[in-house]
């Protein structure tokens, strides 16, 4: 006659429950790590694409005339995806809207009178200069020229700015 041996299930149920919980926890943590890795890779690839674009052909955007801009203002130029800063001394800068920390798009805050990145809180002055980390580098610029009061910006090229921000601005008025 065969003996039927029963497993003691009452004691193993909590252990199995805990094991299942930890398995799920590891799965969630693993998924989060994969997502973060994917996002980081995407950021690196995107910044690489930007560098490649800098070597490519010129893309000239006509951004109106110098009379269209008041002193000490920042204007978004949507068709070129950049900002035109008209500085105190009447000079102009075409600033990239891409944060130099991890590449988020940085809006101009009119009230605060500075660019504030929504991702990690870096802020930049009207010249693109870093005011608040984690970004350590000024906003990049696009080459800008003025012919017969008309402003032309080359969005096909990106320049890394000097820390003071004014070194690449184009002056059109006498101080
Ligand atoms: S991407 Fe702008 S502060 Fe991090």
123 burial class (0-12, 13-18, 19+ CB within 10 angstroms)? middle
**CATH number attached to the domain at 60-171:** 2.102.10.10
Closest ligand 1 atom to residue 120 Cα is 3
The 10s digit of each residue's pLDDT in 54-109 is: 456 899 999 999 999 999 999 999 988 999 999 998 899 999 999 999 999 999 99
User: Ligand 1, atom 1: nearest CA belongs to which residue?
Assistant: 102
CA dihedral (42, 43, 47, 49) in degrees, to 10, reads 10
Q: Measured in angstroms, how far is the CA atom of residue 138 from the centroid of ligand 1?
A: 12
CB 86 within 8 Å of CB 71 = yes
CA distances from 124 to 5, 42, 132, 155, 159 (A): 74, 24, 7, 20, 16
Please state whether the predicted TM-score (pTM) of the whole model is above 0.85: no
User: How many angstroms does the Cα of residue 144 sit away from the middle of ligand 1?
Assistant: 25
- Ligand 1 center from residue 110 Cα (angstroms): 19
Q: Report the nearest atom of ligand 1 relative to the CA of 104.
A: 1
Quick: pLDDT tens for 120-171. 999 999 999 999 999 999 999 999 999 999 999 999 998 886 655 455 666 5
pLDDT surpasses 90 at 33:
no
């Amino acid at each position: 006659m065969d003996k039927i041996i029963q497993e003691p299930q009452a004691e193993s149920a909590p252990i199995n429950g805990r094991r299942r919980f930890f398995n799920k926890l590891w799965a969630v943590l693993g998924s989060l790590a994969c997502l973060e890795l994917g996002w980081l890779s995407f950021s690196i690839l995107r910044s690489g694409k930007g560098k490649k674009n800098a070597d490519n052909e010129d893309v000239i955007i006509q951004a109106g005339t110098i009379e269209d801009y008041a002193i000490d203002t920042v204007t978004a130029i949507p068709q070129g995806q950049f900002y035109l800063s008209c500085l105190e001394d009447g000079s102009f800068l075409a600033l990239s809207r891409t944060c130099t920390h991890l590449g988020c798009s940085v809006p101009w805050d009119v009230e605060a009178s500075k660019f504030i990145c929504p991702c990690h809180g870096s802020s930049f002055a009207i010249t693109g200069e870093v005011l608040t980390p984690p970004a350590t580098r000024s906003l990049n610029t696009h080459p800008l020229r003025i012919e017969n009061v008309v402003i032309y910006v080359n969005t096909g090229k990106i320049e890394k700015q000097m820390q003071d921000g004014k070194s690449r601005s184009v002056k059109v008025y006498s101080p």
